[in-house]
Every structure is written in C-alpha cells, then in structure tokens.
Amino acid sequence: MFHWLEKHPFFFAVAVFVTIAFAGLVEILPNFAEASRPTIGTKPYSTLELAGRHVYIKNSCNACHSQLIRPFKSETDRYGAYSLSGEYAYDRPFLWGSKRTGPDLMRIGNVRTTDWHENHMWDPAGVVPGSIMPAYRWMFANEADVDTAYAEQVTVNKVFNVPYNKPIPMKDGSTETVPMAASLDAAKAEALADAKVIVADMKNQDVKDMVASGKIPEIVALIAYLNSLK
C-alpha cells in the first residue's frame, strides 16, 4: 500500500492531506452536516415574505441591522434566544450582517407588530425619539416584485429541494405547510390573500386602497417578512 502510494504523487498528496486533516474531518464535518440542517420550527418563506426579503435586501437594511444573536447574556436579554445555524437553512443569502447601527432583527417578529412597523417605517423618529434610521415612505407606494419572489421559490424548490407543500415539523409537535403555487398567477393570488391579512392591521389608506385594487405595496411585503422573523 505504502509503496504504491509512494509511486503515485497525486494520491500520496491526498493521503497526506487526509492524515494531517483527519482530526478536522472527523470533528468538523459531522457537526457541520448536523448543524446546517433546518432546526425544528424553521419554515421556508412564503411568496409574500420572500418579496419582502427582497425589499429588505434592496434597501440594504442589513447595512445597519444584523440578524445574528450571539450566545452572550447581554444579547439574549435584549434580542431573545441565540441564533442556531439551522435557523438560516432557507436564507439565501443569509443576512447575518456585520454592523449594528440599529438593533438585531433576528427575532423582531416576537416583539413588534404590523401596526408598529407601519408607524416606524413611515417615520422612525415619530415612535423612537432621536432615531437615526431613515424613513422609507416610498415603500408605501412602490409595488413589491412578486414575480421574482415566485421565481426564487420555484428555483430553490427545484435546485435545493426546499420543502414547499410538504409538512414541516413545528416546536410544539404539530406540522405546518408552506404553500408554493403551481403557476405565477396563482402565486400572485396567494400573495395578495396574505397581504390582505396584513393590511387589515394597518391604517394607511393609500396602502389599503392599493391592496383592495389587487396591488401589493412593498411595505406590506416587508412587514410580512419582518413578522416572520421569530
């Protein structure tokens, strides 16, 4: 065996690598495989939530907000339970962020509600005195891009086998299913139905009118996404 390896430099190099990296391979790889599996209770995003996620990325919210709670008492007191890698299983790309001008948003859905986000995105300083977060008023008029969101859903479902239309185990032992529509039109209808639920808790009349006429403003998609961060 050894003589054979000595005569084949490529395999010799591989064997050297395996020998040197052996401890790393047995310690890191199984852990990695285990930790990157979705945690119980982690669901893929619905069409509307994905559209909101695109709004979040488009406006670089991640430049000021992280989505990663580190295991320190000071962090978990303020933001909730520390993040687990499996919770990012359906984040493509993940939005960990590296800078906290504003607070972490990993679990913002637990402590803020639709109507608060509506007030805050319209005028942050109106609810948090002295806030330096910019207002995002155009989101109340711009339409969300549901087409791209649906395209992403189909892609991740085909390529990465993200479990849409399949029961997903929840923490309390029940299961939930995140639907993925069969066609773009059906996806739009589904997103609109979700948007109507959100808008029922909102006050801005222009936004209500838009949704009533079948359009989804960016703010509604964004709030759907923020509410899903738990």
Partner 1 sequence: MKLWIGGAIFVAILMGITWMMAGGDIGANDTMGSLAMLGALATAVIAIFVSIKYVRQIQEEKAGGELADENWDGIGEYKNELPMGWAVLFLATTVWAVWYYLVGYPLNAYSQIGEYNEEVAIHDASFADKHANLDAQTLVKMGESVFIVQCSQCHGLAADGIDGKAANLNKRIEEKSVRHAIVNGANNLGYAAPMPDRNGLFNMNTGALITDAEIATVSKYVANGMKGAGEDVFQGTCAACHGSDGKGMEFVAPSIADFNPELVATVLKHGKKGVIGAMPAFDLLNEQQIKAVGAYVTSLSK
Q: Which residues bind ligand HEC (CB under 6 A)?
A: 56, 59-61, 63-65, 101-103, 105, 108, 111-113, 116, 124, 128, 131-134, 136, 222, 226
* Nearer residue to ligand HEC within complex by CB, 133 or 168: 133
Only one residue has tokens 């430049």, namely 63
CA dist 42 and 85 (Å) reads 11
Which range binds partner 1 by CB under 8 A, 40-48, 54-62, 77-85, 212-220? 77-85
* Contact of residue 63 among partner 1, ligand HEC, none (CB under 5-8 Å per partner type): ligand HEC
CB 79 within 8 A of CB 69: yes
Only one residue has tokens 């339409």, namely 143
201 makes contact with partner 1 (CB under 8 A):
yes
Residue 36 three-state SS = coil
CB 55 within 8 A of CB 147: no
Q: Where do the DSSP E strands lie in the chain?
A: 167-169, 175-177
CB 49 within 8 A of CB 190: no
From residue 149 to residue 188, the character string flagging contacts with partner 1 as x (rule: CB under 8 A) and all else as - is ----------------------------------------
* Nearer residue to partner 1 within complex by CB, 77 or 159: 77
Query: CA 194 from chain center: how many Å?
Result: 17
* Nearer residue to partner 1 within complex by CB, 110 or 177: 110
101 makes contact with partner 1 (CB under 8 A):
no
Min separation Cβ 62 and ligand HEC, Å: 8
Residue type, 64: C
Quote the DSSP letter at residue 131: -
Binding residues for partner 1, rule: CB under 8 A, are: 23, 27, 71-73, 76-78, 80, 82, 110-116, 119, 126-129, 201
